[in-house]
């Protein structure tokens, strides 16, 4: 992803103090606040190591290789809420309208890369991640990103309003975001599952965007086992889809 690396250089700054970064051989340095961000396996790491230790690193290591039973079960569960089981594939529909070499970022990408020009951001250093960063405070400069993707990520963030605020900051005017979240879905952790979202909740979170379209989609049927009495309940799962145009007023007022 050499082309991505060149593009990333123009897009990022220090996520702590928003100053320009100095590029060294094996790291980036902020001359203002003295923060240092190492380049590891091709990814720039913006995560504070003390923070990283608070996560379940062992579980995440399993996810990277998908070998254990837990990882297989987890990934099977994940497929229930992502596009692979939906009647409509919103991510692919969204991407079909994105011309090649646009500035498109996937926040909470995990290990997948949707297309070679997508810049992957995740809090964990999966092999396909370009920027290891907190999606509540990314290193992207203001008004630089054209398209953003969040696929079943928001429910895992304890402060989702900070993510939508960050999206509003980094998106260009007329930039677009697609965000898929579960509405009715059981706890699925890893590392934590904080919220499920309603249409009203999503519209509130994206209230600063000039246009916000929420679609409700009937997801797959899943079975829930409850112990000690083992019984099975059929529950409909809903997926929400948000597509919002970036708030336009700031560009009008600055001219």
Binding interface with Zn ion (CB under 5 A): 14, 16-17, 19, 30, 32-33, 35
Of residues 137 and 193, the one with the C-beta less far from Zn ion: 137
Q: How far is the CB of 220 from Zn ion (least distance, A)?
A: 45
Q: How far is the CB of 155 from Zn ion (least distance, A)?
A: 30
Please name the residues in contact with 22: beta carbons below 8 A apart, sequence gap of 6 or more: 28, 29, 30, 31
Q: How far is the CB of 95 from Zn ion (least distance, A)?
A: 33
Of residues 33 and 221, the one with the C-beta less far from Zn ion: 33
Short-list 113, 134, 112, 114, CA closest to 122: 134
Secondary structure in 3-state letters for 117-143: CEEEEECCCCCCCCEECCCCCCCECCC
Dmax over CA atoms of the chain, in Å, equals: 66
Q: How far is the CB of 33 from Zn ion (least distance, A)?
A: 3
Q: How many of the other CB atoms lie within 10 Å of CB of 198? A: 16
Region at 190 (left for phi over 0; alpha for psi -120 to 50; beta for the rest): left
Q: How far is the CB of 8 from Zn ion (least distance, A)?
A: 17
Of residues 16 and 172, the one with the C-beta less far from Zn ion: 16
Are 115 and 101 within 8 A, CB to CB?
no
Of residues 16 and 193, the one with the C-beta less far from Zn ion: 16
Of residues 5 and 16, the one with the C-beta less far from Zn ion: 16
Q: How far is the CB of 41 from Zn ion (least distance, A)?
A: 23
Of residues 8 and 153, the one with the C-beta less far from Zn ion: 8
Short-list 111, 110, 167, 174, CA closest to 142: 167
Structure tokens at 146: 């054209």
R_g of the chain computed on alpha carbons: 19
Could you list the beta-strand ranges (E) of 25-101. Answer: 27-29, 36-40, 43-45
Q: How far is the CB of 13 from Zn ion (least distance, A)?
A: 8
Strands 43-45 and 131-132: parallel
Of residues 137 and 199, the one with the C-beta less far from Zn ion: 137
Integer Cα distance of 133 and 173 in angstroms? 23
């Amino acid at each position: 992803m050499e082309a991505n690396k060149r593009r990333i250089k123009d897009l990022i700054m220090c996520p702590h103090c928003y100053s320009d970064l100095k590029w060294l051989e094996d790291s980036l340095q902020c001359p203002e606040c003295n923060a240092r961000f190492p380049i590891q396996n091709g990814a720039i790491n913006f995560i504070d190591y003390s923070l990283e230790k608070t996560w379940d690193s062992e579980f995440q290591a399993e996810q990277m290789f998908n070998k254990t039973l837990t990882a297989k079960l987890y990934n099977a569960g994940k497929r229930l809420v992502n596009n692979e089981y939906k009647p409509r594939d919103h991510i692919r529909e969204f991407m079909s309208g994105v011309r090649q070499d646009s500035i498109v970022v996937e926040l909470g990408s995990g290990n997948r890369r949707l297309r070679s020009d997508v810049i992957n951001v995740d809090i964990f250093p999966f092999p396909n991640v370009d920027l290891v960063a907190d999606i509540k405070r990314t290193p992207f400069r203001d008004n630089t990103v054209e398209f953003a993707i969040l696929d079943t990520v928001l429910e895992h963030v304890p402060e989702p309003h900070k993510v939508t605020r960050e999206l509003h900051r980094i998106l260009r005017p007329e930039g677009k975001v697609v965000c898929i979240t579960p509405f009715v879905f059981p706890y699925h952790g890893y590392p934590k599952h904080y919220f499920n979202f309603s249409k009203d909740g999503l519209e509130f979170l994206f209230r600063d965007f000039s246009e916000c379209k929420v679609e409700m989609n009937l997801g797959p049927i899943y079975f829930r086992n409850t112990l000690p009495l083992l019984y099975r309940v059929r529950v409909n799962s809903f997926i929400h889809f948000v597509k919002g145009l970036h708030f336009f007023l700031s560009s009008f007022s600055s001219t």
